Each structure stands twice: as C-alpha cells, then as structure tokens.
Amino acid sequence: MTGPCNMNLTCVIPDDEKGYELDLFCVPKHYEEDLDRVIIPHGLIMDRTERLARDIVRDMGGHHIVALCVLKGGYKFFADLLDYIKALNQNCDKSVPLTVDFIRLKSYCNDQSTNRVKVIGGDELSTLTGKNVLIVEDIVETGRTMETLLSLLSECNPKMVKVVSLLVKRTPRSSGYRPDYMGFEVPDWFLVGYALDYNEYFRDLSHICILNEKAKVKYKV
C-alpha cells in the first residue's frame, strides 16, 4: 500500500493509492455510507506509531520530556504513542521520563483549513519554560497551525521542542513546515478516523478513511 519507509522521514502514501474496500474491515454501520475507502488500517497505524516511539526514545532518552497533546484530534495518537514509550521505558536501557499536558488549536471550518488559528489553553504555556517539550499532533496540513503554536512556545523559552505528527498532508497550500517525526505523508484528501474528525464526527472510527462528498454535505455545520 505504501512506498518505502525512511527512518528519518515518513511512510509516503502516493496520490494514486487505491486503499481498501470498506467491507474488508470492521467499520461502524452508521458510517458505511459516508466513506469512500480505508486508506490506513488501524494495525498499520499502530505499527508505525510503535516505530515512532522507538525513534523518540532513541533521540530524547535521558531527558525529562513534557508531552504536549494537541486536542482533540491528537488524543488517540497521543495515548497510543505514550503507551509504546512506556513499554520501551520498562524494557530498554535508555528511557524517557514523561509528564503530560494538553492544548487545543482550532483552524478548521467544515473541510477547509482557515488562515485563523485559535489557541485554547495558551495561557498555560508559560509552565513550559526551561522544559523539553514533545508536541504530539494528529495531522499537519498547511503547517501554519503548528508554526503558530511553535511561535507561542518560543516566547516561553522552552529548553527544547520536538514535534511528532501522525500525518503530514502533501498540499500546494503547505508553508513548507515539516515535523521532526512523521508517521505518514498523505495526499491532499480529507481524512477521518482514528480521532480525526469532520465537525466532531468520525472520531470513533478505528481506521483512517477518505470522507466522501455526500458526507461533507450531510455533516456540514
């Protein structure tokens, strides 16, 4: 399904990727008419997340890290990534002491990423002064949302900041920003599932899927 996986980059899903038929997987019945294809099955997400955890422990082991979850879409990836890091902490010579914090960013209206980024919880970023921060994000599209957060963080003078994102979208609207750790590079599709939502729907879908046009109208606010 995917192209070669580079340790320092990402697993690339090509533009002509066909994915999988929905009836090959367990998909909630209430979403069956809303999705085109399964693009990244849950098992592949988990295996790639485990590898990202290993890379993070390799690079950041020995430092106390504040893992900063970007809500809401990042919560599932965040929880699974930390579970893998905790497992490595228990079974490897190098470990990462972890504490957690949360922030919420808002940049979407329906299926479009806007130029305005709303930060919820930003007043608490001052607690990250002098700390090593690992930002955990679900998807980077244009990169402007993350650049805004990194700019806010820099004002608080953290010791170190790294970013891990499960998905990075390949889009002409990109600012060119690339996270330090990336799970999958994906085409310019609107994807849902594994806590990625469309107006709060589809967070309860285990696989990452393409949302069809009919569903965009059905769930539009």
Total domains in the chain come to: 1
Query: What percent of the chain has pLDDT above 70?
Result: 89
Helix axes 42-60, 75-91, angle to 10 degrees: 50
In this structure, of 13-27, 59-73, 117-131, 155-169, the range with the lowest mean pLDDT score is: 117-131
**Greater confidence, 188 or 109?**
188
Between 99 and 92, whose confidence is greater?
99
Mean pLDDT for 168-182 is 93
Tell whether 125 is covered by a domain.
yes
Among 56, 136, 144, CA closest to 104: 136
- Domain extent, residue 51, equals 43-186
Neighbours of 220 (CB within 10 A): 11
Tell me, yes or no, whether 93 lies in a domain. yes
Percent of the chain with pLDDT over 90: 62
Confidence of residue 10 (pLDDT cuts 50, 70, 90): confident
Is residue 62 included in any domain, yes or no?
yes
Per the DSSP assignment, residues forming a β-bridge with 105 are: 119
* Residue 36 counted as domain residue: no
Is residue 201 situated within a structural domain?
no
Residue whose token pair is 């002064």:
129
Please give the Cα distance from 22 to 46 (Å, whole number): 19
Rounded to whole angstroms, the Cα distance separating 148 from 195 reads 22
162 occurs within a structural domain: yes
Q: Is residue 105 part of a domain?
A: yes
Pairwise pLDDT comparison (114 vs 15), residue with the higher score: 15
* pLDDT confidence of residue 220: 87
- What letter does residue 111 receive in the DSSP assignment? T
Residue 170 placed within a domain: yes
Mean pLDDT (the chain) is: 87
| CATH code, 121 | 3.40.50.2020
Confidence (pLDDT) at 122 = 54
Q: What is the mean pLDDT of residues 79-104?
A: 89
Question: To which H or E segment does residue 68 belong?
Answer: strand 65-71
On whether the CB atoms of residues 20 and 27 are closer than 8 A, the answer is no
Q: What is the pTM of this model?
A: 0.87
Which pLDDT score is estimated for 28? 93
Digit-coded pLDDT (tens) for 108-151: 554 455 556 666 765 578 888 999 999 999 999 889 889 988 98
For the segment 86-95, what is each residue's pLDDT rounded down to a tens digit? 999 998 877 8
* In the predicted structure, residue 217 carries a pLDDT above the cut 50: yes
Q: Are 136 and 105 in contact (CB under 8 A)?
A: no
pLDDT of residue 95: 81
For residue 157, what pLDDT is reported?
Answer: 93
Q: What is the pLDDT of residue 5?
A: 47
